[in-house]
Amino acid sequence: DARVTQTPRDKVTEMGQEVTMRCQPILGHNTVFWYRQTMMQGLELLAYFRNRAPLDDSGMPKDRFSAEMPDATLATLKIQPSEPRDSAVYFCASGLDSSGEKTQYFGPGTRLLVL
Amino acid sequence: EDQVTQSPEALRLQEGESSSLNCSYTVSGLRGLFWYRQDPGKGPEFLFTLYSAGEEKEKERLKATLTKKESFLHITAPKPEDSATYLCAVRSSASKIIFGSGTRLSIRP
């Protein structure tokens, strides 16, 4: 049963610290998405990769957030420096983006608390 | 502006009482409408993808339908284990993905 995995599951840090979240997409999937979920805003798309190339990161605060895919099995989302308003659950999702299939499969999320 | 609106925000049903959840959307060039189920503390779980008006998909007690302006998630004879938040999302021709705020469904035994 293939699944998206995310680490860490929970992270508590202090304001100003760097935070790195990792995601392992489902083997064979060619798209990776990063989302942020809060009670107030719901699910927001932060960044989107296809075949490891960033296609859209317009939802991401550029001054402190960065997303990369060093290889096909790893996606990272970094926040530097972190702020209390970054507290949220961060989800990674992967999919096989073909002409007829656009479905995404979500990981369990990283719950981030910035004090 | 692309937009997704889900209603109602919350719905409480008795076990066995059928109902429907609504997802209204405006999007430039629909490339897919998605339904997800999310349990507390977990990531959204994929249910259905619909691509064109008139399309329908079923899975156990759930049936999703799509028109040019909205989608319905029909739940027939629900059970307590169907309690969850149901999320709707659309993907536009510009590959923008927008989620609705969800419907919290609670099924009483």
The whole-number average pLDDT for the span B23-45 is 93
Q: Cβ A43–B31 below 8 Å, yes or no?
A: no
- The 3-state DSSP class for residue B107 equals strand
Q: Cβ B36–A108 below 8 Å, yes or no?
A: no
Half-sphere exposure (Cβ direction) of A58: Cα atoms closer than 13 Å:
7
Tell me how far apart the alpha carbons of residues B54 and A90 are, in angstroms, rounded to a whole number: 34
3-state secondary structure chain A: CCCCEEECCEEEECCCCCEEEEEECCCCCCEEEEEEEECCCEEEEEEEEECCEEEECCCCCCCCEEEEEEECCEEEEEECCCCHHHCEEEEEEEECCECCECCEEECCCEEEEEC
Per CB-CB distance under 8 Å, the chain A contacts of B101 are 42
Instruction: Choose from A1-5, A103-107, B21-25, B94-98 the range with maximum mean pLDDT.
Output: B21-25
Q: Cβ A104–B34 below 8 Å, yes or no?
A: yes
- What percentage of chain B exceeds 90 in pLDDT? 83
- pLDDT tens digits, one per residue of A37-67: 998 889 999 998 999 998 888 888 889 999 9
Is A90 near chain B, with CB under 8 Å?
no
Does residue A100 register a pLDDT over 60? no
Scan residues 14-73 of A and list those with Cβ closer than 8 Å to B: 33, 42-45, 48, 55-56
Beta bridge partners of B84: B105
- pLDDT tens digits, one per residue of A3-23: 999 999 999 999 999 999 999
Q: Cβ B49–A45 below 8 Å, yes or no?
A: no
Tell me which of B95, B96, B101 to substitute to probe the interface with A (most A C-beta atoms closer than 10 Å). B95
The residues, any chain, with a CB within 8 Å of residue A53's CB and separated by 6 or more, are none
* Of the partner residues A55, A56, A109, the one whose CB lies closest to the CB of residue B43: A109
Is A115 near chain B, with CB under 8 Å?
no
